[in-house]
Amino acid sequence: MTNKEKARERREKRMQEISLLRTIPYSDHNRWWSCENVAVVTGSNRGIGLEIARQLAGHGLTVVLTARNVDAGLEAVKSLRDQEQGLKIDFHQLDVTDTSSIREFGCWIKQTFGGLDILVNNAGVNYNLGSDNSVEFAETVISTNYLGTKNMIKAMIPLMRPSPHGARIVNVSSRLGRVNGRRNRLANVELRDQLSNPDLLTEELIDRTVSDFINQVKDGTWESGGWPQTFTDYSLSKLAVNAYTRLMAKELSRRGEEEKIYVNSFCPGWVKTAMTGYAGNMPPEDAADTGVWLSLVLPEEAVTGKFFAERREINF
């Protein structure tokens, strides 16, 4: 058996394990949430986001599905309600690249529910498929995937309700954004070290890194800048998300026990969705599992500032 065949066999075995995990119900004895708990899932009118919303609602939470397009969002809510009776799902328009839209959404959340308990930052874009590596839409990719996630976190933290169980922030990311991955990593060793060191990691450093990339895209020098080689703009946006996850976990860890917020990121894998041209090897039902698990893990099991794939911690 070749190494490629062995790797495929391992992937298939792990996918079977994930499917099995999804069939194991969360014990009512250990359930800390109820329909009074509110989960917000951004960009959830299709793909992984829609599936995360469906599974969280299926576990009995009230879920707020969001989308930029109102018609697409309302249609998604209707499809979920048609699939399963009794789901508590609401919809509100949200464009994470628009600060006024985020502000309006926050006001609606506060007025309607008084706050939220879980935030899943799923909204994201990628304009490359296969071996493509265009940076034509790099600003949109960075603005949506990184800045949209960051701005949502900043806006929602004041609205996250105090609880002995802790609130949860889950960021959908990618292995392509690992700082120290063996492949597709930054060429600048000093920058990698700074982004990897919790004592050196700052919001300014993350912002400056993505800003340097955008500036090089504009002046046409990005190809010699030592950036990730595969899906460069998307990979860098997710590297920034992972770094910001660790940064926020450190800042939020200073909170008291009744105000804990656990923040983690996860890679859903290569999923059969529009973002991959439906060429992925994992169905959305399995891809959503780790995000749902991180949203619902028990307080005594809860971790923060970590990166996961298939319910397993992996390196940033």
Q: Residue-wise pLDDT tens for the chain (316 aa)?
A: 675 555 566 656 655 555 555 555 555 557 899 999 999 999 999 999 999 999 999 999 999 999 999 999 999 999 999 999 999 999 999 999 999 999 999 999 999 999 999 999 999 999 998 899 999 999 999 999 999 999 999 999 999 999 999 999 999 999 999 998 888 999 999 999 999 999 999 999 999 999 999 999 999 999 999 999 999 999 999 999 999 999 999 999 999 888 999 999 999 976 666 666 666 668 878 899 999 999 998 877 889 999 999 999 999 9
Of the candidates 187, 156, 184, the one whose C-alpha atom is nearest the C-alpha of residue 169 is 156
Distance CA 141, CA 138 (A): 5
Distance in Å from the first CA to the final CA of the chain:
31
User: What residues are labeled active site?
Assistant: 234
CA distances to 160, 201, 205, 235, 294 from 178, rounded to whole Å, are 28, 15, 16, 8, 19
Query: What pLDDT score does 284 carry?
Result: 75
In a 13 Å sphere around the CA of 98, the CA atoms on its Cβ side amount to 9
Tokens of residue 139, six digits: 């600003």
Concatenated DSSP letters of 246-314: HHHHHHHTTS-GGG-EEEEEE---SBSSGGGTT--SB-HHHHTHHHHHHHH--TTT---S-EEETTEEE
Query: What pLDDT score does 104 carry?
Result: 98
Distance CA 229, CA 280 (A): 20
Query: What pLDDT score does 146 carry?
Result: 98
Of the candidates 179, 165, 164, 176, the one whose C-alpha atom is nearest the C-alpha of residue 246 is 179
Strand, helix or coil at 64? Answer: strand
Tokens of residue 22, six digits: 């999804």
Query: What pLDDT score does 299 carry?
Result: 76
Query: What pLDDT score does 220 carry?
Result: 97
Query: What pLDDT score does 56 carry?
Result: 98
**One-letter identity of residue 180:** N
Strand, helix or coil at 63? Answer: strand
**One-letter identity of residue 115:** G
Tokens of residue 260, six digits: 């804990």
Query: What pLDDT score does 276 carry?
Result: 65
pTM, to two decimals: 0.91
Distance CA 132, CA 105 (A): 35
Distance CA 228, CA 27 (A): 42
Query: What pLDDT score does 269 carry?
Result: 79
